[in-house]
Amino acid sequence: MLLWWLTLAVVLIVVIVLVVYLVLIILALRKADRHIAELAAGLRAVSGNVAPLPEHLATINGALAALRGGLLSADRHLAGAVRTFER
């Protein structure tokens, strides 16, 4: 009879431990779900914020192309000055 009660006690302890672990897993998964939902909302916000970038980048690229031409011209003038001063 004592063995039967010990077996029942061990089974109850195992079941209680499993229940506690499963509840902790459920809580962790709910917390992860909340964080993933916040992350998805943040990514949607970022997506909306970067939508106008192609237009701005095209403008910046055009300005940089014009600046490149001016800088190349200045580089040629400076190279000519260096050649003049080397003589």
Model confidence pLDDT, tens digit, residues 6-60: 999 999 999 999 999 999 999 999 999 999 999 999 999 998 888 888 888 888 9
Expressed as residue numbers, the domain containing 76 is: 52-87
Residue 28 and residue 63 in one domain: no
Residue 60 and residue 45 in one domain: no
- Looking at the structure of the chain, the number of domains it has is 2
**Two structure tokens written together for 6:** 């010990």
Residue 3 and residue 33 in one domain: yes
Against a cut of 0.75, is the pTM above it?
A: no
Cα→Cα distances 16→24, 29, 36, 77, Å: 12, 20, 30, 85
Query: Tokens 């004592």, residue?
Result: 2
